[in-house]
C-alpha cells in the first residue's frame, strides 16, 4: 500500500501535465526530471519550497527549501516525505531515478532511458517494498 504523498507523486508523473526533460530538476522550457516532479508535488501539497531560475545558467531552475538550493536531486525533506532514504534513489538494483530519466542508466553495456510511465512503475515497486519493510 502506498502513502498519500507517494500516490500523489506517481499520479503526477502519469498525469501528462509534466513533460519529461533531462539534466535538471526543471528547465526553463518547462520540462521536468522525475525528481523535479517529486519536488513540485511536495510544493503543491505542503505549500513549502519554491522554484528560482538559476542565475548561473538561466536554462534551469533550482528548488529552494529551508534555505537550501537543489538543481539536480530532490531535497532531503522531499525524499523523507516520500519515505525514501536518498535524494536520488535506486529504483531497481541497477540505476537511480535520475539516470533512467536522463538516459544515462547502463544496462547490459547500453545506455537506457525510461519514460515517466516506466519510472513511475520503478518508484511504485520501491515504495511498496519499503512500505512493506516498515510494517
pLDDT tens digits, residue range 103-119? 998 888 889 999 999 99
In sequence order, what are the beta bridge partners of 90?
96
Task: Give the span between the Cα atoms of 29 and 7, in whole angstroms.
Answer: 26
Domain of residue 50, residue span: 4-134
- Model pLDDT for residues 85-108, shown as the tens digit of each residue: 999 999 988 899 999 999 998 888
pLDDT at 103: 92
pLDDT at 48: 97
pTM of the model: 0.94
The sign one gets for the Cα dihedral 27, 32, 34, 38 is: positive
Domain tally, the chain: 1
Amino acid at each position: 500500500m502506498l502513502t498519500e504523498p507517494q500516490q500523489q507523486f506517481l499520479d503526477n508523473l502519469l498525469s501528462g501535465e509534466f513533460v519529461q526533460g533531462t539534466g535538471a530538476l526543471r528547465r526553463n522550457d518547462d520540462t521536468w526530471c522525475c525528481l523535479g516532479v517529486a519536488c513540485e508535488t511536495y510544493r503543491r501539497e505542503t505549500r513549502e519550497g519554491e522554484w528560482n531560475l538559476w542565475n548561473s545558467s538561466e536554462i534551469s531552475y533550482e528548488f529552494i527549501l529551508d534555505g537550501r538550493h537543489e538543481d539536480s536531486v530532490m531535497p532531503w525533506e522531499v525524499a523523507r516525505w516520500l519515505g525514501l532514504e536518498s535524494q536520488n534513489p535506486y529504483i531497481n538494483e541497477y540505476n537511480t531515478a535520475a539516470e533512467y530519466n536522463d538516459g544515462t542508466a547502463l544496462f547490459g553495456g547500453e545506455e537506457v532511458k525510461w519514460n515517466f510511465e516506466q519510472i513511475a512503475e520503478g518508484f511504485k515497486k520501491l515504495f511498496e517494498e519499503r512500505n512493506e519493510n516498515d510494517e
